[in-house]
Structure 1
Amino acid sequence: MGRVIGFELSSQEPEKAAEFYSKVFGWEVAEPQWDYWAVSTGKDVKPGINGGIGKGPNDYPHGTRLQIEVDSIDAAISKAKENGAMILREKMEFDDFYLAYLVDTVGIGFGLIQRK
């Protein structure tokens, strides 16, 4: 089962977005890595998820995406494609995880994450 483990806010002005959410909601925003600012939305004593703010790519310049953790990113991508999803970013490899971006059949963007 895929579990929502985070969110990503996309913006062409991520520094400005980070400042806004930090001031309005008190979110802790980390120093950026690869145009991505990790966000902590509160202490882990209450239910909730953390996420990040990233510089949105040209094909997804603004918006919010859920990040869904899966056991096999290749299987999840295949199943999503079989059910009508569009791939925005094929599987990318990072130090600790794989990541891909898709759009579902009604236009909602989401990310898939598989930890190594």
Structure 2
Amino acid sequence: MSNVNKPVIPAEVADAIELMRCDAGGQPWDNEKIIDSVRDTNIDEIHLRKLRSVPFDTLLAALVNGYTRELTTEEQERKRTYTEIAYTLQRHTQGDGRYDTYSEDSAFADGVQYTLDMLGIYV
């Protein structure tokens, strides 16, 4: 089994690669055409500028091995929030002693309020 290096690249670079690979205006670009265009400094398209923003080796690895999109700050915060909510739910369902005196309705209401607060939803 081989170890494939799938680099993490910014979302705008991944978008540029995907746009070039499924070029709606003509022929899709293959890896060779993408690399040739990136190396040709006389071509100054916005998509190529985005591809030039990552190290060349990283771009090569992304084209050949595939890639993982970098999470935006909002996505990272959402993932952290969901993880914290899941952890709190697990503690609650396993019973950590704090919820023994709660009625089921009170515990449910507190859980809903906590979840809404963590997601930044105010009612």
Into which bin does the TM-score normalised by the smaller protein fall? Answer: under 0.3
Q: Which structure dedicates a bigger proportion of its chain to helix?
A: 2
When the two structures are superposed, what TM-score results if normalisation uses the length of structure 1?
0.22
Instruction: Pick the structure with greater CA Rg.
Output: 2
Q: Normalising by structure 2, what TM-score?
A: 0.21
More strand by share: 1
